[in-house]
Amino acid sequence: MYFGKRNLLRTCLSVLPGAIVVAAAFFTQVFESDNSLPISDLVATDTTPSNLAAALSHTSWQARPNLVVNLPQIAPKITWTKIEVPGLATNEPLYVETRFPLLIDLDFYLVDEGRLVDEWHTGYAHPGSFERNKGLYFNFPVNTKNHNQSLFIRAKNPGTGVPKFRLYDRHTFASMNQLRDQVMGTLFGLSLMIIFVNILLLTSQESITYLMDIGAQIFLLVVVYFLEGYYKRITPNIGDDPDLLARMIISSYMMALFFIAAFYRRHLLIDRNFQDLTRSYRAIQALYLISPVVVFTTPFAVGLSYAIVVTWLGSGLMIKRYIRFVNLRSIFIAFLSQSGGVTAMIVTALTVLDIVSDNLLNKSMAHIGIVWMGATNLIASGMRLRLIEARSKRIRSALAKRDSRAELNRLLTSSYDNIENIKKAEVTIMFIDAVSFSLLAAGRSTAAIFKALSERLSEIIKVIEAEGGSVDRSLGDGVLCYFSNDQIGLRKHHAVAAFDAAITIQRNAIAAALTHPDKLIMPVRIGIHSADVIIGNLGDDRHLDFTMIGSGVNFASRLETAASPFKINLSTETVDHLTRHKIAPQLFEPIKLSIKHHSALHNAFEHDPSIGDADSLQRAEVLFFEQLGIRRGDERHMVVPSESLRLMYGDLEFSVVDFSRYGFRATSGSLFGRRSVLTVEFVTNNIELQRMLAAYFLRTVVVEVRWSRQEQGTFTHGLRIVGSSTAQRNFL
C-alpha cells in the first residue's frame, strides 16, 4: 500500500481536530471574553517584601510582565501584587480573581488610606477557604467605597510565573461562575457517561478492549483532576508538596498513555495485522508502564525527561507506522482521536504555564480532549460492533452453504476493519491444485480420499494463514487464496509472503512423500500472480458471497495449470516484486506458456523449491507416479542418430529424442509450460521422410506440452499430438 492521494486527504482530515483546538486556543476567547474591569497592577520582582508592612513601604513596584513561563520548581516562589481598586458611588462589591491552578497560598490585604481594613487568607494552610472559592479559582470580594483603595496580594507559587489578577463586578462574576458550573458539570457528565457505556460494552461483549478504554478514561480524569485544580476541594493537602503534585500528574498521564496504547493494540489487532510493529509496540507499552516508578524514584528533572522522551518515542513510532494505513477507517479514527485529545492536553499545559490565554475554554481543554478521545473511541467501537455483526451474518450464510470451509476460514481470520462491500486492492493471487486427483481417487474409498484431501488442504491453509494470506474459496481439490498488505501489514510485501507460503507448501509435500510413501501422496501445482483485483460481495442481503474479480485471477489459474508437480509458476509481475525485495533472480527459470484465445506465448517463470536437493524431488516424483500406476502404454522409437528430426515453433526449436504414435519427447533451450498448445513444423534432413510427411499432411502439427523438466542444462518436454487421425498416428 503506497501513500496516495486518498491517504494524504485522510491524513489532513485526521489532524483537523488538533488544528481546531490550536485555533481556538490562540485566536478566540470562547465561553469567556475578558470583560473584566481595567486595573493598574504592579508587582514586586526585584526584591520581595517579607510582610504587609514591608509591602506598604516598598517602592520598587513594576508592571507585571506580559509573558513569564510558569515552569515548575521545587522551592515555591513568593510574589507581591499591588492593585488599585477603583471607587464606586454605589459601593457595589467587586471581585478580584486569579486562575492559576497551581497556587499554594494567597493572602489578600485591603488597605484604605494606609490602614488595613480587610484581609483574607486562602490556600492549603487554610483548607476551609476552598469552599468559598469553589476549589478552582482564587477570588476575594472587595467592599468598595467612593474612593480608590489598594489591594496587596501575597502569592505562594510552585512555578516561576507571576499570577495575573482580574477585577469583576458582581453581575459578571456571578454569570461567569454559573457558566463554569455548567461547563464543568457537562464535561464530567459526559466523561462518566463514556465510562458507563464502556462498562456496558465490557459486560456485554466480554472483551478486555473496553477495559483498556475505561482505564485510559480514568487516568485522564486524574490528570484533569490535578491539572485543572479540582483537587483543591477534595484533597487540598496534596498541594502542600508541589513536587509530589507534579509527579502525580506526570505518572497519571503516562498510565493513561499505557491504557490508550493497550486499547489500540487490541482494537487494531496489532499483533496480527502489523506483526513487524508488535515488538516495538510492546516495548513502548512497557516503558509507559514503568513510568510511575521512574518518575517517583528519580530526581524530578530525570523523571520529567524520561516521560517526554518515551511519549515522543511512542508517538513517533505510531505515526511512522500507521501513517501509510490512514485510509483504513479504524486507524483514521485513531488519528482523529489522538490529534484532538493530545493537542487539547498540550493547550491546558500551556495555559498552566501562562503561555496561552487562561480563559475558561483553554482551562477546560484537557477535559474536552478526554471527552473527545472517549467519544471517538466509542465511535470506533460502534463501527467494530457493526462490522462484527456483518461478519457474523456472513458466517451464518457460509454455514448454510454446502461448501463453506474456505469462506468460513476467510471470515474467521480476516480483520474486521478490512471487510468492505467492494474495494480495489493490489494483491498476490495464488492458485493451488492437487495433481491428478481423479486418478488418485479411482479405486479408493470415498472416506479415505476425503480424509486425505481434508488433511492436505488443512496443512496448506495453515501455511497460507501463517504468512498472512486469506483463502478466497475452496476449489474441491484445490485452493484460491490471496495476499494483501492490508492483511499482512508492513512486515513483508504480499508477493514475498505468497512466495514463502508456496515454497513451504511444496517442500512439505516433498517431505511428506519421502517420509510416508505408503500414504496417499498429493503433490500440488501452484501458480502465483500479482495484480489489482476487485474484492466484493456478489450476493445480496440474504446471500453474501465475497470473492475476487479480475483478469489477474484467470492468469494465476493459467499459471497453476502450466506448472509441473511440486513446482511453482510465477508471473513476471510477481517476480519483479520479489527481485525488488532482494530475492535472487537466479531462483527463477524463464518459461513460456500459451493462454486461451491468445496466439502469442506469454513469458513467466518457474521456481523449483527443491534447489540444492534435486534427488529428493526426483524420488518424490517416482513415488507419486508409481502410486498412480502410470505405465508407458505405447511403443516408443528412438530417432536414428544419423538423422535429425526437429520441431520448429517460430525461432524456437525442439530436437526430437524419441516418438510414439501419440507424440514426442523433445529437448529445447527454452522451458514451456504444461498445457501450452503449439503449432510446430517438422524439419528433417531425410528427403524421403519430408515427402511422406507432406503426403500425410504432417508438415505442421499441433502439439500440447504434457510435462517438462530440466535435464543437464536443457529442458525436456513431453509433447502430445492434438487432433491427428488414425492414419497419421499409424504412419508415425
> 135 versus 704: which is more confidently predicted?
704
pLDDT at 293: 93
pLDDT at 526: 92
Domain endpoint, select from 618, 646, 673: 618
Query: Around 286, how many Cα atoms within 13 Å sit in the side-chain half-sphere?
Result: 6
pLDDT at 71: 60
> 256 versus 26: which is more confidently predicted?
256
Tell whether the model's pLDDT for residue 320 goes beyond 80: no
Residue 471 maps to a domain: yes
**Residue in the structure block whose three cell numbers are 483485483:** 533
Tell whether the model's pLDDT for residue 419 goes beyond 60: no
Strongest mean pLDDT among 37-41, 128-132, 147-151, 405-409:
147-151
Determine whether 206 is exposed, middle or buried from the number of CB atoms within 10 Å of its CB (0-12, 13-18, 19+).
Answer: exposed
Domain endpoint, select from 114, 139, 174: 174
Residue 585 maps to a domain: yes
Strongest mean pLDDT among 118-122, 124-128, 363-367:
118-122
> Rounded distance, CA 707 to CA 720, Å?
10
Please tell me whether residues 527 and 643 are part of one structural domain: no
Q: Is 312 helix (H, G, I), strand (E, B) or coil?
A: helix
Compute the residue count for the chain. Answer: 732
Strongest mean pLDDT among 268-282, 418-432, 692-706:
692-706
**By C-alpha distance, which of 681, 644, 638, 635 is closest to 662?**
635
Report the chain's mean pLDDT, rounded to a whole number. Answer: 76
Please tell me whether residues 323 and 465 are part of one structural domain: no
**By C-alpha distance, which of 604, 482, 465 is closest to 533?**
482
402: pLDDT confidence band, cut at 50, 70 and 90?
Answer: very low
> 287 versus 87: which is more confidently predicted?
287
pLDDT at 245: 77
> Rounded distance, CA 571 to CA 605, Å?
6
Range of the domain at 53: 41-174
Please tell me whether residues 583 and 718 are part of one structural domain: no
Question: Residue 664: what are its φ and ψ, rounded to 5°?
Answer: -135, 155
Tell whether the model's pLDDT for residue 28 goes beyond 70: no
pLDDT at 502: 92
Residue 402 maps to a domain: no
Residue 401 maps to a domain: no
pLDDT at 597: 60
Please tell me whether residues 441 and 569 are part of one structural domain: yes
Please tell me whether residues 78 and 211 are part of one structural domain: no
> Rounded distance, CA 481 to CA 428, Å?
9
336: pLDDT confidence band, cut at 50, 70 and 90?
Answer: confident
Please tell me whether residues 595 and 708 are part of one structural domain: no
Query: Around 679, how many Cα atoms within 13 Å sit in the side-chain half-sphere?
Result: 4
Question: Residue 613: what are its φ and ψ, rounded to 5°?
Answer: -145, 55
pTM, 2 dp: 0.51
Please tell me whether residues 682 and 655 are part of one structural domain: yes
Residue 181 maps to a domain: no
pLDDT at 236: 63
| Per-residue pLDDT reduced to its tens digit, 367-397 | 888 888 888 878 877 777 777 676 666 656 6
Rg (alpha carbons) of the chain, rounded to whole number: 40
> Rounded distance, CA 509 to CA 523, Å?
6
Tell whether the model's pLDDT for residue 708 goes beyond 70: yes
Task: Give the CATH number, domain containing residue 299.
Answer: 1.20.1070
Average pLDDT over residues 34-45: 68
Residue 28 DSSP symbol? -
The residue type at 153: I
Strand partners, 547: 536
- Cα–Cα–Cα angle for 269, 12, 313, nearest 5°? 55
> Rounded distance, CA 462 to CA 248, Å?
48
> 592 versus 315: which is more confidently predicted?
592
Tell whether the model's pLDDT for residue 664 goes beyond 70: yes
Question: Residue 153: what are its φ and ψ, rounded to 5°?
Answer: -125, 120
Please tell me whether residues 12 and 82 are part of one structural domain: no
Query: Around 338, how many Cα atoms within 13 Å sit in the side-chain half-sphere?
Result: 20
Please tell me whether residues 554 and 492 are part of one structural domain: yes
Residue 317 maps to a domain: yes
Least confident of 76-85, 177-186, 343-352, 700-709: 343-352
- Within 10 angstroms of residue 426's Cβ, the number of other Cβ atoms is 18
Cβ neighbors of 620 (< 8 A, separation 6 or more) are 509, 510, 513, 514, 521, 523, 566
Strand partners, 659: 637, 664
pLDDT at 542: 42
Residue 474 maps to a domain: yes
Q: In what order do the strands lie in the sheet with 138-142?
A: 138-142, 94-98, 165-169
> How far does CA 169 lie from the centroid of its chain?
54
Tell whether the model's pLDDT for residue 499 goes beyond 60: yes
440: pLDDT confidence band, cut at 50, 70 and 90?
Answer: low
Residue 663 maps to a domain: yes
Q: Is 66 helix (H, G, I), strand (E, B) or coil?
A: coil
Question: Is the sign of the CA dihedral 646, 647, 649, 653 positive or negative?
Answer: negative
Tell whether the model's pLDDT for residue 401 goes beyond 90: no
Task: Give the CATH number, domain containing residue 706.
Answer: 2.40.10.220
Please tell me whether residues 551 and 577 are part of one structural domain: yes
> Rounded distance, CA 346 to CA 341, Å?
9
Q: Is 10 helix (H, G, I), strand (E, B) or coil?
A: helix
Q: Is 103 helix (H, G, I), strand (E, B) or coil?
A: coil
Please tell me whether residues 554 and 673 are part of one structural domain: no
Task: Give the CATH number, domain containing residue 429.
Answer: 3.30.70.1230
> 463 versus 635: which is more confidently predicted?
463
**By C-alpha distance, which of 315, 331, 314 is closest to 264?**
331
Please tell me whether residues 640 and 595 are part of one structural domain: no
pLDDT at 195: 84
- Three cell numbers written together for 308: 517526554
Tell whether the model's pLDDT for residue 479 goes beyond 90: no
How many domains, the chain? 4
Tell whether the model's pLDDT for residue 727 goes beyond 70: no
Cβ neighbors of 301 (< 8 A, separation 6 or more) are none
> 243 versus 198: which is more confidently predicted?
198
- Three cell numbers written together for 27: 485566536
Average pLDDT over residues 119-137: 62
Task: Give the CATH number, domain containing residue 70.
Answer: 2.60.40.2380
> 528 versus 66: which is more confidently predicted?
528
> Rounded distance, CA 255 to CA 271, Å?
21
Domain endpoint, select from 339, 366, 386: 386
Asked whether the beta carbons of 168 and 97 are under 8 A apart, the reply is yes
Question: Is the sign of the CA dihedral 438, 520, 630, 728 positive or negative?
Answer: positive
> Rounded distance, CA 70 to CA 451, Å?
75
Tell whether the model's pLDDT for residue 417 goes beyond 60: no
Q: Rounded to 10 degrees, what is the CA torsion of 624, 628, 629, 634? A: -100
> 27 versus 497: which is more confidently predicted?
497
pLDDT at 55: 81
> 243 versus 508: which is more confidently predicted?
508
404: pLDDT confidence band, cut at 50, 70 and 90?
Answer: very low
> Rounded distance, CA 618 to CA 513, Å?
11
270: pLDDT confidence band, cut at 50, 70 and 90?
Answer: low
pLDDT at 434: 82
- Three cell numbers written together for 636: 516408443
